[in-house]
Amino acid sequence: MSLGIPDYVDYTKDQRYSQRVMAGGFGGLLTNSETVDRLLDEMDPVDKKSLQGWYWFDWANQAFALTVITVVVPTLLSNMFNLANGGSADYAGMTFTGDSFYAVVLGISSIFVAIVSPVLGAIADRMPIKKKILRVYTVVGILFTGLMGLAPYMDDSSSYKFLAICLIMGNIGFAGGHAIYSAFLPYLGDKRLMDHISSWGYAYGFLGGCILLTVHLAIGLRYGFEDPDVQCFVFVTSALWWLGFSVPMFRNTPEPEIPNPTDYSSLFEAVKDGVREIRNTFSEIRRYKVLTLFMCGYLLFYDGVNAIGGLAAAYADSVLRIDFTMNFVLLLSANIVAIPMTIIGGSLASKYGNKNILGGALTIFCVVSVLGVGFAPLELGDDHERYDFQYDWNEEEGAYKLSTLYDRGVDGWVSESGEGDEDFRVAFLSFLKNGGSEISLLSLDDASLLSSNMVNETNHRFSFSFRGGDLDGDASVGKEHPTIIEGGPIDWWPNLLRDNIWEPAGLGINLQWIILGMSFGMVMGVAGALSRSLFSVLIPTTKTTEFFGFFAFIGKAVSVLGPIVYAIVAASMDSRMGLLSVVVPILMGMCFFFVVDVEEGIRVANKVDEEARGGEIE
C-alpha cells in the first residue's frame, strides 16, 4: 500500500469483508486484534515510517493543547484578568469574570480557522499542498507560544491583554494545523485500521503532553508557579517541544498523492475554485444524509466537550478557587488516564462497534458534566487554612502573623486598582499593606479593629480568620466568596449536592475536581479518536481534505459557539449557568449517533469515489 489514494478495490469486492461490515456496523471494519495485527504487518516499511511520523506530530502539538491551552493559560489569564480588574469588569451591560473573559478569547481564536478551513481543504484536495499549509500553521503556533513567555514580566494592566492576543494567534496555528494533520488519516492505512490509527494518534498526543506537563509540574513545585521565570520557562519549552517533535512528520510523512492535480495561475483562482467546490458539496448534501446526521451530532456533543475541556481550568480558578498546582496535578492525571483508555476504547470499538463505544463514552460525559455543575467548595466553618487571609497568634511577637491562601500574598489576591475590589481596598487594605509592603504582623489593637470591620463589611470576594489569642475563632466571609452560593438560577443544585453528598462524605472541592478530571480522562480520548475514525470512513476518499476542512469548520464553529455562549450566559447570569449551557448539547448530540446508519454512509462514500475515478470500483 502506498500513501497515495488507498486502493480499496480488493477488499470492497471481498464477500467476507462485506458480510462483516453489514453484520457488525462500523465495528465490522475491525473485526478483532488479529485482523489489526495482520494489516499492520502487511504494511510497507516506508508506510510504517510515515505513519510513525504522523503519530509524532500529535505528540508534538499536545505541548500546546495540554500545557498551554488546557492548564496554564486558562488559569494564568483568568488570574491576570481578575487581578487587573478586581475580580470582575462590566462590558455592554454584562459582568465578566476571569473565566468568562477567557471564554471570549478562546471563542475569538477559533473564528479564523472556522472560516478558512473548508476553503483550504477544497484547494488541498486539488493541489499537493497539505504539508505546506501544515508547516505555515505550525510556525505560527510555535512562534506565538514562545512569545507568551513575555506576558508574566508585564504589568497587570497589559499582561492579560498581551497573553490574550498570543493565545488567539497560537490557537489559530494549533487548530488550523490540526485540521490539516487529521486530513492525512485516510491515507495512512487500510480503512479497517482507522479506529486503531486514530486511537494511537490520540494516545501519542496524551503521552507526549503528559511527559512535558510532568516536567513543568516538577519545575513549578520546586520554584513556585507564581515565579515569572517559571511561567516563561513553561511557554518557551512548550514551543521548543512542538518544534522538535514536528520534524518527523515533515521529514517522513509524504504529501498524499492527488489524482489529476489542478494547476492554478493565481491564488485568487485557487480560492475561487475552492469556494465553488464547497458550493457543489452543499448542493449535493442530500447524497450524504448519513454524514450530515453524524456531523449534526458531532457539532452538538463536541460543542459541550470542547468547551468543558477548554474552560475547566479557568472555571476552577475563578469559580471554585482551586489552587494552580492542584489544577496542574489534576489535569495531568486526567491525561495520563486517557492514554490507556484511548487505546482500550479503540480495541473495544473493534470488537463491539464504534457507535456503541462512542455512545457509552458520551453517556459518561453527560453524567459527569451534570455533576460538575453541582461542584461546590465546602463551607469554611472552622477550617482556618482554607481562608484567604489567615491570622495566627504569635506569642513571642505579641501580635497576629498573616498568611494567605496558597501563599499568594496580598498582591496575589487583591487588585491594585480594579473596580471589583474597590470596596475591599477601602475597608481593609490599610490592615494588609503599608505603602508597597505587606503587613506581616498585626498588633492586637489593629487586629481587634480589623475583626470588627470584617463583620460589618462583607461586600467583597475574600475571607478572614483568626486563630489563637484573644480573637481566636473570629472569622468573616464576603458575600461574593466561592463558598457563598446563592442568587443564581440553579444554585439549588450545588447546594443540594453539598448538603447531601459532598459535606457528609467529606469530599472537598479538590476531591470533587479529581472525580471530574479522572472521569473525563477515561472518555475524552475515546470520544475524540472514535469520532475522527468514524468520520474518516463516512467521507469519499477523493474529497478527504475538503471534508476534513468541514470537520474542522464544525469543530471550530462550535469552538466559537460553546465558549461564546458560556461567556454570555456566565456574564449575564452566573458561571454555573454558563457551564450548564454547554452540557445540554452533549445530551442532544448523543441522541444523533444512535440513528446513524454507518453501512449506508460507507456505501455512499464508496459510490462517490467510484464516480470520481471513472467507474474504477464496481
Contact 182, 551 (CB under 8 A): yes
Can you tell me the mean pLDDT for 568-595? Answer: 81
pLDDT tens per residue, range 511-533: 888 888 888 888 877 887 787 77
Position 23 scores a pLDDT of 34
Position 554 scores a pLDDT of 56
Position 9 scores a pLDDT of 30
Cβ neighbours, 10 Å, residue 253: 26
Lowest model confidence (mean pLDDT) among 21-25, 104-108, 125-129, 349-353: 21-25
Return the C-alpha cell found at 186: 485516510
Position 498 scores a pLDDT of 94
How far is 121 from 300, CA to CA, in rounded Å? 22
Instruction: State the residue for C-alpha cell 496555528.
Output: 173
Q: Is the dihedral of CA 185, 191, 194, 197 positive or negative?
A: negative
Cα–Cα nearest to 145, from 162, 161, 169: 169
In angstroms, the Cα distances linking 426 to 95, 223, 412, 463, 514 are: 21, 33, 18, 16, 38
Cα–Cα nearest to 378, from 528, 483, 504: 483
**Helix (H), strand (E), coil (C) string for 316-330:** HHHCCCCCHHHHHHH
First-residue to last-residue Cα distance in the chain: 20
pLDDT tens per residue, range 280-338: 766 666 667 888 888 788 777 776 777 777 777 778 877 888 887 787 777 778 878 88
Contacts of 318 (CB under 8 A, 6+ apart): 78, 82, 97, 98, 99, 575
Grouping H, G, I as helix, E, B as strand and the rest as coil, residue 43 is coil
Q: Is the pLDDT of residue 16 over 90?
A: no
How far is 65 from 596, CA to CA, in rounded Å? 30
- β-pair type (475-477, 463-467): antiparallel
How far is 85 from 97, CA to CA, in rounded Å? 9
How far is 515 from 521, CA to CA, in rounded Å? 10
Partners of 210 in beta bridges: none
Contact 170, 141 (CB under 8 A): yes
Q: Is the pLDDT of residue 550 over 70?
A: no
Cα–Cα nearest to 142, from 247, 216, 71, 49: 247
Position 233 scores a pLDDT of 95
Position 505 scores a pLDDT of 92
Grouping H, G, I as helix, E, B as strand and the rest as coil, residue 91 is strand
User: For residue 57, what pLDDT band results from cuts at 50, 70 and 90?
Assistant: very high
**CA 594 from centre of chain:** 25
Most confident by average pLDDT, 26-35, 117-126, 494-503 = 494-503
Lowest model confidence (mean pLDDT) among 16-25, 32-41, 237-246, 590-599: 16-25
Average pLDDT, the chain: 80
pLDDT tens per residue, range 193-229: 777 787 788 788 888 888 998 899 889 888 888 889 9
Position 185 scores a pLDDT of 76
pLDDT tens per residue, range 116-130: 766 776 677 677 888
In angstroms, the Cα distances linking 52 to 57, 62, 173, 400 are: 9, 16, 22, 61
How far is 563 from 309, CA to CA, in rounded Å? 11
How far is 14 from 192, CA to CA, in rounded Å? 13
Position 19 scores a pLDDT of 34
How far is 616 from 613, CA to CA, in rounded Å? 6
Position 559 scores a pLDDT of 58
Pairwise pLDDT comparison (290 vs 536), residue with the higher score: 290
Position 36 scores a pLDDT of 72
Pairwise pLDDT comparison (305 vs 545), residue with the higher score: 305
List the domains of the chain with CATH numbers. 50-374+510-612 (1.20.1250.20), 384-477 (no CATH)
Cα–Cα nearest to 417, from 164, 97, 89: 89
Cα–Cα nearest to 71, from 240, 239, 235, 237: 235
Pairwise pLDDT comparison (618 vs 70), residue with the higher score: 70
In angstroms, the Cα distances linking 198 to 58, 168, 191, 248, 567 are: 10, 27, 11, 18, 32
Position 7 scores a pLDDT of 33
**CA 267 from centre of chain:** 34
How far is 499 from 502, CA to CA, in rounded Å? 7
How far is 307 from 17, CA to CA, in rounded Å? 39
Return the C-alpha cell found at 264: 492554478
